Structure 1
């Protein structure tokens, strides 16, 4: 297989490139040159946000393209149109955010989606991802596969969610653990997402797939307890009901990454139907492996994870956590 990855140097795109290389495929990464490409990958340089930025893609043929773009749908449109006659399949890494909010528990790929256009410029995340989907389908039709991921974790995460929890738990002491302990989580390890995408383009799949684990593959309890074991920390998890946390003004998802209290938003994020993806071969490794491998990667960097500059930092400050715990 000859695979072109639009991106390919960070998190999901890099996981796809490394998966392709591990399979013995020819992998080409198209990127802006801000990060080192995976060893063994061919490199094309360009910035798809600039006039003439796709010039490096005007020649060449590939069996499949993987596009992880999260910005303007028009950028996906332009790339897909340029490559349509020279690539077999187009895999677009989308998001379950494309579904109209709130998404009912058990919603499958046929659920209602937000209004969007492949010609959109800068729009909110949900419309950007839906517009990107439409752009891929516009040029590739049933040769476009739409990988609707949800929460993505694993080594090289550059958002900071799991790295924050690992860093906080490694510090030890009493840790505010948002409950309930058995709260179900639905996510995908970037490496499992990459493996599924590689299988999908090799097998010629098309259409939309919800690409996350089954609901309850992990819980807040199993995730945070795995963090304690991986770090070897003496941290004590103080499980706390959602009510007091919310009353204190502590924000789910941003102050306490990954966590959403039971309710509409949690159901939207963590209770989607994934039977189509499972039937198409999705396999999700245990949460303990994702956590341990992410910790090993963090340690190789001296504990300081890279972070996307376009996103705000996540995680509760030490002072805010201590103030809350003292009040309980």
Structure 2
């Protein structure tokens, strides 16, 4: 989850001409400053305004006359930091969201889980809306208890997914001010230059999970065997570690960012608990997908099953 540390030459500051060295009475907007002075000046302005997270590579020029240009630039920075490369795939993950800050120890599986949840709910709702009305009436009349059981299992799995995502986020990607902030990522100057294979791997993994969630209504749908086997492991599975854990970043946090032995011991405890929570989240993701699929299959069997014979006359 690398983030570039040095501004490129193209974004060097170009000082605008000011008569008599005095600033104009009306302060220009952020897009105007970008056009006059380049991204570096905008970053400096944002930091002076109390936004220390601003990085030069994250500020994008807005077209002239674009309303809300300042808000858009600030939001872009916040989104890139929060997503940490999530939502992109392959090399794109290493060149987009993963360039704005230090390398994260854990990729943002918690964010992916939220998106999986949304897609599973949408998949079920779309499927159920297409079920024949007569089938719904039959189920409500003769299979009420069975449907209630299947439906409740699906809802419980989704609730468990939300809970697990929040628990993992608390450790891996907490809100600003958390006691874990010094553990979650390397300092920017410790980021790895060049390609970031870990972010690319996670980008592909994230896309795979979201695609599986969306496709759970399809007839040949199934969770890949290696993914399903890993989700059954009680301890930190290698399958998951290879996709969301950056051992290089963990080493840099431990050996470069943390200089006090007491902090190093706390880091080890934090990392162990974070692994436990991300393992539970991964299991919850797979369980939510398979449980939603089971509900769809059950309902489809009622919809497509043999019709009851007509009563004799």
> How high is the TM-score relative to the length of structure 2?
0.31
Q: Which has the higher contact order (CA 8 A, sep 6+)?
A: 2
Which protein is bigger by CA-based radius of gyration? 2
Q: Which one has a larger percent strand, Structure 1 or Structure 2?
A: 1
Question: In proportion to residue count, which structure has more helix?
Answer: 2
TM-score between the two structures when normalised by the length of structure 1? 0.30
